[in-house]
Amino acid sequence: GDQVLGNVFAEFKPIKQLKFHSDIGMDYVWFKFRSFTPDYVFHPSATNLTNDIVQGFGFSQSYQLENYLNYTASLNEHDFDVLVGTSYRHTLGEQAGGSSQFIPQEVQFNENFQILDAGQDTIDLAYGSINVEYKSISYYARLLYDFQDKYLFSATVRRDGSSNFGSENRFGIFPSFSA
């Protein structure tokens, strides 16, 4: 298989205490596979009475976009760090394949015959998926507070959504606090 993986980001500070960060990443994968299992009898409980071939191909592509603002400030003995952002991920994939059995004994170890069409079974088992698509999005915020480098407080909240969940439960809110 082949894979192309990349990430690019930009960051700038419109004012001294405020930073904007944006990045985009992508991951593209193309693959194919072939597996052959000969017929064998090692033991009554370790047998494969038919030789088998499994073959397939597919691809997957995904990208992620992340943006956030980070503001930091100090006032006397008080330090603040506030972050807000969003993250989006989109994945799309497709694959197909099949399996076959009973490749003729005289050619079963010849790689040119280890293909689906070489099997003599009357039913080829095929599978496939097309346009398998997943999307997720997150919105998040975080507050860090520090008093005299001694007392710390942290609060985070996320709102995450995913197309993997049913339409009634597509989003969830996840808060956390610590002191």
pLDDT at site 111? 81
The pTM for the full model equals: 0.74
pLDDT at site 127? 76
**8-40 residue pLDDT tens:** 999 999 999 999 999 999 999 999 998 888 888
Rg (CA), the chain: 27
Residues of the chain with pLDDT under 70: 121-124
**130-147 residue pLDDT tens:** 778 999 999 999 999 999
For the chain, give the DSSP string.
Answer: -EEEEEEEEEEEEEETTEEEEEEEEEEEEEEEEEEEE--EEEETTEEE-S-EEEEEEEEEEEEEEEEEEEEEEEETTEEEEEEEEEEEEEEEEEEEEEEEE---GGGTT-GGG-SGGG---S--EEEEEEEEEEEEEEEEEEEEEEETTTEEEEEEEEEEEETTS-GGGSEEEEEEEE-
pLDDT at site 124? 60
